[in-house]
Amino acid sequence: AQSVTQLDSQVPVFEEAPVELRCNYSSSVSVYLFWYVQYPNQGLQLLLKYLSGSTLVKGINGFEAEFNKSQTSFHLRKPSVHISDTAEYFCAVRGPSSASKIIFGSGTRLSIRP
Amino acid sequence: ETGVTQTPRHLVMGMTNKKSLKCEQHLGHNAMYWYKQSAKKPLELMFVYSLEERVENNSVPSRFSPECPNSSHLFLHLHTLQPEDSALYLCASSQDWLADYNEQFFGPGTRLTVL
């Protein structure tokens, strides 16, 4: 079975500063990894995904994430954040089996200070 | 309408009421999902439907009853709920439940308050 841990429940940063949201997963098999974003009063939207290949994945809105198999991590980064990035971010993992469910982390609330 | 829509967006109900949540997807997908999102907790998968057949039921209490009349519509019927059932209920859809990629598209959710 897979599990995912988001170590930070809240991350406050200043506008135009860089940010990293941490995600660690646990699995005995290869996995697919996702980051979703939830803006206020909206559903979740896919930011980026890692299925295979290059370990550096680029997503929408200038976000990127790096898959690190040895550290079982998939941290999300952005070099310069904007007020509009204020949202909750969810890391998710899915096993390779066709019947695997997507398991979501508990989320990290990113708040941007002007 | 595009994407995944949910109605109502907000619902307040008493413990003895019966209500239904509605989800509609306009993406031509074959799979639909109900999730519960409570404060400070990970998303909890409740039900999965693939081609109108229920393929996943995550030990959800019987006071929640899903219905999928066709591949575009999904309902969640609620009766005799408890205050701890108050949460944001999210609907999602994906092209194919069994696909490796399986990106899910989410609706905006229904904020449910049980008094």
Query: Of A9, A41, A104, which has the smallest distance from its Cβ to B43's Cβ?
Result: A104
Tokens of B79: 């009766």
| pLDDT at residue A42, as a whole number | 86
Give the model's confidence band at A4: pLDDT under 50 very low, under 70 low, under 90 confident, else very high.
very high
pLDDT > 70? residue A98: no
Give the model's confidence band at A63: pLDDT under 50 very low, under 70 low, under 90 confident, else very high.
very high
Query: B5 and B24 in contact (C-beta within 8 Å)?
Result: yes
Strand locations in chain A (E): 3-5, 10-14, 19-21, 24-26, 32-38, 44-50, 56-58, 64-68, 73-78, 87-94, 102-104, 108-113
pLDDT > 80? residue A52: yes
| pLDDT at residue B84, as a whole number | 93
Which of B:11-40 have CB within 8 Å of A? 40
Query: Of B6, B42, B92, which has the smallest distance from its Cβ to A105's Cβ?
Result: B42
Per-residue pLDDT of chain B (115 residues; tens, 9 = 90+): 579 999 999 999 998 889 999 999 999 999 999 999 998 788 899 999 988 888 887 789 999 999 999 999 999 999 999 999 999 999 999 988 777 667 889 999 999 999 9
DSSP SS3 for A54? coil
| pLDDT at residue B4, as a whole number | 95
Contact A104 B40 (CB under 8 A): no
Query: B91 and B34 in contact (C-beta within 8 Å)?
Result: yes
Residue of A89, A91, A103, A104 to mutate for B, most B C-beta atoms under 10 A: A104
**Average pLDDT of chain A?**
91
Query: Of A43, A49, A105, which has the smallest distance from its Cβ to B103's Cβ?
Result: A49
Task: Tell me the three-class secondary structure of chain B, residue by residue.
Answer: CCCEEEECCEEEECCCCEEEEEEEECCCCCEEEEEEECCCCCCEEEEEEECCEEEEECCCCCCEEEEEEECCEEEEEEECCCHHHCEEEEEEEECCCCCCCCCCEECCCEEEEEC
| pLDDT at residue A86, as a whole number | 96
pLDDT > 80? residue A23: yes
A107 has a chain B CB within 8 A of its CB? yes
Higher pLDDT among residues A37 and A103, named by residue: A37
pLDDT > 70? residue A99: no
Q: DSSP code of A85?
A: G
Query: B110 and B6 in contact (C-beta within 8 Å)?
Result: yes
| pLDDT at residue B100, as a whole number | 60
Q: DSSP code of A96?
A: S
